[in-house]
């Protein structure tokens, strides 16, 4: 079996890459170790930058997103008993975010690929990458896939990055001393926009997925266990951290999903080796505070699509050779923003009273300075795609 691009992973990065390549007349095969049901139900990110929304719409896979997604033109920072809105419509005119779950993006992309006759294979076993420096191929389940290029879009725990020989990659990593307990609840949102709350008890985030489904996060110890967080304790802690301004009451409901997410920053560079190109979580992880993970994957795929289109059009390798360099500029900007948001809003056990007063001082600056608020807003809605290249 042969194709032009072998894509490992049927998450947003791999599926979008396959679709964008299809629009350019470039063939691909997508290999995914999980089932279709699993990837379509996997709850992950839900905040889409303006550039991600535009990319999906322009690619013809954004119809349902535009109908059902929730555009937001601001976020709220809540601390010290007061609420402070960061107004995107004034600070970054014409740019916003859209709340639309990653699993919905995946459903839309799978439907589009299958409708176009795309080759997407689920529950593929024993995937291995070979001959990355010469004529690459992939083996899986007793079969062989020959290809000109391999795109590793299989996440942090996938097989693509480990296929690169030792000593090639430089790894940069930061572990945070806490985690996020996230829940999905069958309850209408208590706010029209996302609330980022900083309290002495820890951070909390009120988000949403639809007019009837809400998403919440709590800062918890890094070694927290779900068994220690029954429904009653979760709602009590959310109320304690969110009901800190006059007149706000948190609506509660049935919790349908829950999980604990470690907080870390991770970058492996370069994002390429031979004819293997990494995209998305296979190359980088950001703490979710800045809502950048899915959006970085889309940015990577846009860069890789242009590079592959040039390569298959006339054999030019200029863009492919510069793929990692182009992506990493945006990756490191997102790393910094995610770190900044995380340190701005979370409590750290090692912080003394001096450090906590500095944190509150900076929050006061962000919410009172037009320049500081604009920096937050333009990074949150996403810098234009050409700004990081």
φ, ψ at 377 (rounded to 5°):
-65, -45
Measured from the Cβ of residue 70, the count of other Cβ atoms closer than 10 Å reads 17
* Active-site position among 100, 273, 311, 380: 380
27: left (phi over 0), alpha (psi -120 to 50) or beta: beta
CB burial of 88-106 (b: ≥16 within 10 Å; e: otherwise) equals beebbeebbbbbbbbbbbb
Whole-number Å distance between alpha carbons of 187 and 238? 14
38 is catalytic: no
* Active-site position among 137, 196, 217, 273: 196
Is there a contact between 62 and 56 (Cβ–Cβ < 8 Å)?
A: yes
- Residue 268: C-alpha distances to residues 164, 275, 385 (Å): 11, 17, 21
Q: Give the 3-state secondary structure of residue 180.
A: strand
* Active-site position among 72, 73, 206, 346: 72
87 is catalytic: no
22 is catalytic: no
288 is catalytic: yes
* Active-site position among 288, 311, 323, 346: 288
Is there a contact between 96 and 72 (Cβ–Cβ < 8 Å)?
A: yes
73 is catalytic: no
* Active-site position among 73, 284, 292, 346: 292
CB within 8 Å of 150: residues ≥ 6 apart: 5, 6, 7, 8, 129, 132, 136, 138, 160, 275, 276, 277
- Residue 291: C-alpha distances to residues 45, 49, 366, 372, 381 (Å): 7, 9, 18, 19, 9
> Catalytic amino acids?
72, 196, 288, 292, 380
């Amino acid at each position: 079996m042969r194709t032009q691009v072998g894509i490992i992973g049927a998450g947003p990065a791999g599926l979008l890459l396959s679709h964008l390549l299809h629009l350019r007349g470039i063939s691909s095969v997508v290999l995914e170790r999980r089932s279709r049901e699993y990837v379509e139900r996997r709850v992950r990110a839900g905040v889409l930058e303006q550039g991600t929304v535009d990319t999906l719409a322009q690619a013809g896979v954004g119809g349902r997103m535009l109908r059902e997604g929730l555009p937001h033109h601001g976020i709220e920072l809540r601390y010290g008993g007061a609420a402070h809105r960061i107004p995107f419509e004034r600070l970054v005119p014409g740019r916003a975010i859209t709340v639309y779950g990653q699993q919905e993006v995946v459903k839309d992309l799978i439907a589009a690929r299958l409708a176009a006759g795309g080759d997407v294979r689920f529950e593929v076993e024993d995937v291995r990458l070979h001959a990355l420096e010469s004529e690459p191929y992939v083996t899986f389940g007793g079969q062989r896939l020959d290809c000109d290029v391999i795109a590793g879009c299989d996440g942090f725990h996938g097989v693509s990055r480990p296929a690169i020989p030792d000593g090639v990659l430089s790894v940069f990593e930061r572990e945070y001393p806490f985690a996020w307990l996230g829940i999905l609840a069958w309850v209408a949102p208590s706010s029209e926009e996302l609330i980022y709350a900083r309290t002495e008890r820890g951070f909390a985030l009120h988000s949403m997925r639809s007019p009837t489904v809400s998403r919440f996060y709590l800062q918890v110890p890094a070694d927290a266990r779900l068994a220690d967080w029954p429904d009653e304790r979760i709602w009590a802690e959310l109320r304690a951290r969110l009901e800190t301004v006059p007149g706000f009451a948190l609506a509660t409901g049935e919790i349908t999903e829950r999980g604990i997410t470690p907080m870390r920053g991770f970058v492996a560079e370069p994002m390429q080796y031979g004819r293997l190109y990494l995209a998305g979580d296979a190359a980088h992880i950001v703490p979710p505070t800045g809502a950048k993970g899915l959006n970085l994957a889309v940015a990577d795929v846009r860069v890789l699509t242009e590079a592959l289109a040039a390569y298959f059009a006339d054999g030019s390798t200029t863009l492919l050779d510069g793929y990692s360099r182009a992506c990493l500029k945006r990756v490191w900007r997102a790393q910094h923003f995610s770190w900044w948001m995380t340190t701005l809003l979370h409590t750290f056990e090692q912080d003394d009273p001096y450090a906590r007063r500095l944190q509150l001082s900076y929050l006061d600056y962000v919410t009172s300075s037009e320049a500081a608020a604009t920096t937050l807003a333009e990074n949150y809605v996403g810098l234009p795609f050409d700004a990081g290249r």
